[in-house]
Structure 1
């Protein structure tokens, strides 16, 4: 199979004791970019071929899963700038094979110290329109990605930090090919902030016209930023010249100046947290705890469904779609009311996942008709209503290395193209709009209201599944805003209950219910199913559900990996052999 110029360049730098192998039954030793990849020793799956190749090269060179995810994220900053990057934040789950331990790392953005609950409240005392809040400096939170990736490398990295940034630096200097998805999102102008004069407009519309698929684009400003990060580490981002540029761009935004300060950047720290694990069948399904709602809400949906004969239902049967939707209503209702940054609000995690509480909630699922909007469960903690939005411009990466270490990481700048504030060749996030724009009242505040130093609630749901022996069996996650929870839950049922092959599970028509209406994936859902759900009382909408699931699963031969066919993701697997050993 023909390799890209990028791949071929980096293969020359690999040590002679390493041979890359495509994990396919025929024993081909090239890369694979479509379908299901198989590899005995390592596997990488990301949302972009350039990023997957960078990760695979690192893994083939003996790098750790953390090393690979760092290399891939730096490349994604360049090649998938609408979704994630060093101007945003992330949640990372890590399986430490040596110590048989699962850890989670919170690299979520934080509100500036000067922020208050009225950050997005206008002069008339009402929240500003959501799209007005998104664009510009006011929506920018303290980026957490660089600090979190460096901290993960400090603990679990093998190769030098500077080496991991090499692929992205080379691509930024020599240029990458603009993908069809990036070009389409630019042409659709999904973020009105890109119409503003400035660095982002100049980069994505050189000469006044949007980049198109196949264009070659360099990013010398990002290359300079990454070179400084490679030699100086996170200090090059959170202090000094680049930090000053970030603060100036945010505070002097011509439309909506923000509150980010140099002290906010210098004070940022990622946080190691205990993962949230919930039993399901013979497995432990583990995800992120607060400020992410992913682990809790996915755990609730699965637990609410566990007593039902899910394995006997077909994926598009009205019975499955109904029960899945009812469980989702209940879980999303609790998510909206009770989940926020637990450094500011006492999130009742154990209660929300307890069998006693879930048994009470499950009784509401007994009818064969839609229950209508579900209320949150009654818990002895105070929280007002919350209608926070979360947009689907996010990315997911999964890696496993030759030592058996595994990473599942979801990363985001929130809205497509973030705040559209661009500094140092990368976009800054608009994650502060993941807070409740309406803070509620002093007597009944929204749990997820803006507060100084607080991290906004997220729907990101990086997930690792442990088998009955406590070993990692599956790594999975998806972009998709608040629908991430639906996508991950549905995929887990497809893989754990129905035991579907990866390609069949990824191709299933998507289902989403956020306690509002039932959305079925347009063009993949049969008219008969939509009619059957309407007959059960559902408000049915047919719409694109552009999930971007990446998944790795343990197999008899080692590992298999795949990427969602709805986007541009790829998976690469391989085998590391000793010097002189034949490749097949």
Structure 2
């Protein structure tokens, strides 16, 4: 078995470079992942931001221990002194069809990204906190070019992202950002500069807390100071499943990625596995756009840190003078459960994972964007590198399929013999043209190399 090279995989070149710089400066996988996540809050605000939430999975090479942290958004309402007003409905066109999303102050849940980054650094970091913020701060002062793949996502999500104050950011002068255009957030450098000095607590009990409360309540939301002060990162159970001779470890997500891996057919060869794979991947949920991003990092010692974060579509509630859009997770209807109480953590499809080889060593560190397609994208990638013996870039970049009900949605170029076998087994086939961001956005580092998803302008950089 090969060892995993040190490297970073992310969905924007500048994000990956931020993480790589920290590795070059002697940081751990956790340090580099935190720096990369903070960079996403500048470079990938179409997908994520400091006002969002996420999850982290960490593999410690010295002990073989895998830890999963939950810093996803929490439901507000602990203050009990404000009732949320109505949300704002917007139509987001995806696959040519409108989907109704809800944004506004009432859609904003308690953000977790600052706290999560702080906890990952506290547990496994080595470099000073301010050094991890520095790459994002530098990027925030200048802005970054918008990748063509991100611009295509914006084409779908602009009704939400360009709402209110977001219009000047994503549709400057009335023209939607195109590939190569500069994405710049006035005030974000000020926010990051303060974060570097004060640490993540500035969002929860410090100077930014009343700014958040006033912004949300002014827009009809109920989030209050007790909601922010009570927020804490949680350690969550680590699921495990066997894939061939390998062990996959991750949190128990809404889409049941690890459970699905355990239900894969015994014969993983192609084309024999196609029908069994489709059965395991059958998705009965609603197909949402999935504005999410992921960073995967392995350091020179062999530790790994994978962090997935999201903003939803963004609530359109911007913190004045700070360039930060708050999340819209309470507007994601499928994430609202009957038992969701004030202070409670919302569920999520996100699933940053690690794979351990038969010798107990790291084989893959990976995560994905894509809402319900996260499971599809991750499992197809793992099959590519572990069953099909592909390099990471090929495994991530090849065509894949996603199953909804009795229909197999297949990207252009997916093998015809497998589609024929699926059709013969009774599946309806919906053929897409080319690769599409609908099918997820994997970033991974492993024995097969480092790579990002071409569907999201992803890159992999080795130390």
> Which TM-score applies when normalising by structure 2?
0.88
Q: State how far apart, in whole Å, the 2-side matches of 1:174 and 1:501 are.
A: 35
Alignment of 1:215 onto 2:105? no
Task: Look up the SS of the partner of 1:474 in the other structure.
Answer: strand
2: CA distance, partners of 1:177 / 1:487 = 26
1:301 aligned onto 2:263: no
Q: Deviations over 1:112-155 (max 9, x none)?
A: 12699xx99989xxx99996652211111111111011011111
1:306-331 deviation line (CA, Å, top 9, x unaligned): 4x2223xx2xx3x42211111223xx
Identify the residue that residue 301 of structure 2 maps to in structure 1. Answer: 403
Which residue does the alignment assign to 1:106?
Answer: 70
Contact 2:393 2:450 in 1 (8 A): no
Is the CA contact (8 Å cut-off) linking 2:86 and 2:106 kept in structure 1?
no
Cα 1:300–1:195, aligned 2, differ >3 Å: closer, same or farther? closer
Aligned pair partner of 1:328 in 268, 278, 281: 281
Q: 1:214 to 1:299 in 2, by over 3 A?
A: closer
Q: For each residue in 1:480-514, what CA deviation from the matched residue of structure 2 results, as whole angstroms up to 9, or x when unmatched? A: 11110111112212222222222331232111124
1:455 aligned residue (339, 345, 350): 345
Q: In the alignment, is residue 63 of structure 1 matched against residue 30 of structure 2?
A: no
Partner of 1:134: 102
Which of 525, 533, 552 is 2:414 aligned to? Answer: 525
TM-score, structure 1 normalization: 0.71
More strand by share: 2
Q: What SS does the aligned partner of 1:235 have? A: helix
Residue aligning to 2:7: 43
Q: Is the 8 A contact 2:34 2:117 kept in 1?
A: yes
Give, in angstroms, the shift of residue 252 of structure 1. 2.0
Aligned match for 2:157, one of 175, 178, 190: 190
Cross-structure match for 2:310: 412
**Structure 1 contact 109–143 (Cα < 8 Å) conserved:** yes
Task: Tell me how far apart the structure 2 counterparts of residues 303 and 136 of structure 1 sit (CA, whole Å).
Answer: 40
Please show how residues 254-403 of structure 1 align to structure 2 within 5 Å. Answer: 257-289=220-252, 292-294=253-255, 297-306=256-265, 308-311=266-269, 314=270, 317=271, 319-329=272-282, 332=283, 390-403=288-301
Q: How many residues align?
A: 447
Candidates 376, 382, 405, aligned match of 1:492? 382
| Counterpart-to-counterpart distance in 1, 2:79 and 2:349 | 22
- Quote the offset at 1:564 in angstroms: 1.7
Q: CA deviation at 1:286?
A: 0.4
Name the CA shift for 1:185/1:107 in 2 (closer, same or farther; >3 Å).
same
Query: Equivalents in 2 of 1:185, 1:302: separation in Å?
Result: 29
Report the Cα distance in structure 2 between the residues aligned to 1:89 and 1:461, rounded to whole angstroms: 13
Call closer, same or farther: CA 1:90–1:527 in 2, change over 3 Å.
Answer: same
RMSD: 2.9
Q: In structure 2, what is the equivalent of residue 421 of structure 1?
A: 317
Deviation, structure 1 residue 451: 2.6
When residues 183 and 305 of structure 1 are mapped into structure 2, their CA distance, relative to the original with a 3 A threshold, is: closer
Residues 1:237 and 1:507: Cα distance change in structure 2 (over 3 Å): same
**2:59 pairs with one of 95, 108, 130:** 95
SS in 2 for 1:305: coil
Is the 1:47–1:570 contact (alpha carbons within 8 Å) kept by the matching residues of 2?
yes
* Gap change, CA 1:540 and 1:420, over 3 Å in 2: farther
- Equivalence for 2:96: none
Unmatched 5+ stretches in structure 2 = 93-98
2:367 is aligned with 1:469: no
The answer as to whether partners of 2:369 and 2:442 remain within 8 angstroms in 1 is yes
Question: For residues 138 and 318 of structure 2, what CA distance do their matches in structure 1 show?
Answer: 20
Shift of 1:539: 2.7
Distance 1:45 1:448, change over 3 A: farther
CA displacement 1:353-397 (0-9 Å, x = unmatched): xxxxxxxxxxxxxxxxxxxxxxxxxxxxxxxxxx56643211111
Which stretches in structure 1 are left out of the alignment for 5+ residues? 1-37, 334-386, 440-446, 575-584
- How far apart are residue 406 of structure 1 and its match? 0.5
Matched, 1:176 2:144: yes
Structure 1 distance, partners of 2:24, 2:370, is 30
Structure 1's 389 and 217: CA in aligned 2 closer, same or farther, altered over 3 A? closer
Which residues of 2 match residues 428-447 of structure 1 at below 5 A?
428-434=326-332, 436=334
Residue 293 of structure 1 deviates from its aligned partner by 2.6
Q: Which has the larger radius of gyration?
A: 1
Q: 1:237 aligns with which of 196, 203, 218?
A: 203
Q: Work out whether 1:540 is the aligned partner of 2:429.
A: yes
| In 1: Cα distance, 2:130 partner to 2:79 partner | 35
| TM superposition shift of 1:281 | 2.4
